[in-house]
């Protein structure tokens, strides 16, 4: 993966994470109970963990090509 492609993909991952957080906020906004807040927190943890894992994986790639 070229550096430019990696930059584009990382930017897309950031955008996807932001969209996911917005969706999670809509959930907690409509259900402010303890259960709604816990679902928000659990979803946020999963989103952040996945984002971090993917960014780390892409940052470790050092080859050019496909």
List pLDDT tens digits, range 33-66. Answer: 999 999 999 999 999 999 999 999 888 765 545 4
Tell me the two tokens of residue 21. 């957080």
CA dihedral 10, 16, 19, 21 (to 10 degrees): -80
For 30-50, the DSSP string reads H--SHHHHHHHHHHHHHHHHH
**Cα dist. 31→22, 25, 63 in Å?**
14, 10, 46
The residue ranges of every structural domain in the chain are 3-60
Position with higher pLDDT, 25 vs 66: 25
Q: Which residue has the tokens 């050019």?
A: 64
């Amino acid at each position: 993966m070229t550096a430019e492609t990696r930059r584009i993909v990382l930017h897309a991952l950031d955008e996807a994470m932001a969209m996911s957080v917005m969706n999670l906020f809509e959930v907690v906004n409509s259900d402010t109970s303890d259960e709604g807040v816990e679902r928000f927190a659990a979803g946020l943890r999963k989103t952040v963990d996945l984002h971090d894992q993917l960014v780390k994986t892409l940052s470790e790639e050092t080859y050019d090509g496909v």
